[in-house]
Structure 1
């Protein structure tokens, strides 16, 4: 499920700053990056299952591994994990309302911290 109207889409942020702010809000990389793409995950384990809030980003001008990149953020998504298949984001998925609200709150807090530093 895409999380709409977060204000994060298309923001351009220095990777070091982005990692610091995302970490404050429990969004971690944990190896999900390559030379031009990166994914920040927040894991939720609740009675309905395991869910991931994911914020994707990419760079056009650097190498994420070097730590010297400007990251352009993409639309955040919420997905449910199914063992052993992975995370599903489909329209058929049902997401608990309190989970969606927490994800929206987390993304709003991230946006507020990023605002002074970003270039749209």
Structure 2
């Protein structure tokens, strides 16, 4: 599910402060990157058996190289996904998300967007 109007979409920011800010908000990049793209995930545990939710923030390099750490990243609209063990994460609009989870996700991304906005290019 795409989270709309969060304030994060289309922001451009240098990779290093982006990594720092997302880490402060528990959005983890880990090995989820290549030379042109980055992905940050925020894990939300669920009481449902074998279900975990993720908020995913993605971006792509408009200048520089992620591998070299000199990229300028343009952020995309964040996604809310549901992980089905052992199959993977589904982000489709047909997924059913509790309203409280959607609200929590929007609030978490809004707080992230506030901090990122200070560094946007």
The TM-score normalised by the length of structure 2 is 0.93
- How many angstroms apart in 1 are the aligned matches of 2:120 and 2:62? 16
- How many angstroms apart in 1 are the aligned matches of 2:99 and 2:26? 20
The TM-score normalised by the length of structure 1 is 0.94
Equivalent residue number for residue 78 of structure 2 = 76
Runs of 4+ deviating beyond 6 Å? none
Give runs of aligned pairs for residues 40-51 of structure 1, distance below 5 A.
40-48=40-48, 49-51=51-53
- How many angstroms apart in 2 are the aligned matches of 1:99 and 1:67? 33
5+ long unaligned stretches in structure 2: none
5+ long unaligned stretches in structure 1: none
Q: Note the alpha carbon deviations across 1:61-102, whole angstroms, 9 max, x for none.
A: 211111111000001000001122211011221112222111
Size of the aligned set, in residue pairs, is 119
Partner SS state of residue 114, structure 1: helix
- How many angstroms apart in 1 are the aligned matches of 2:30 and 2:118? 26
Equivalent residue number for residue 4 of structure 1 = 4
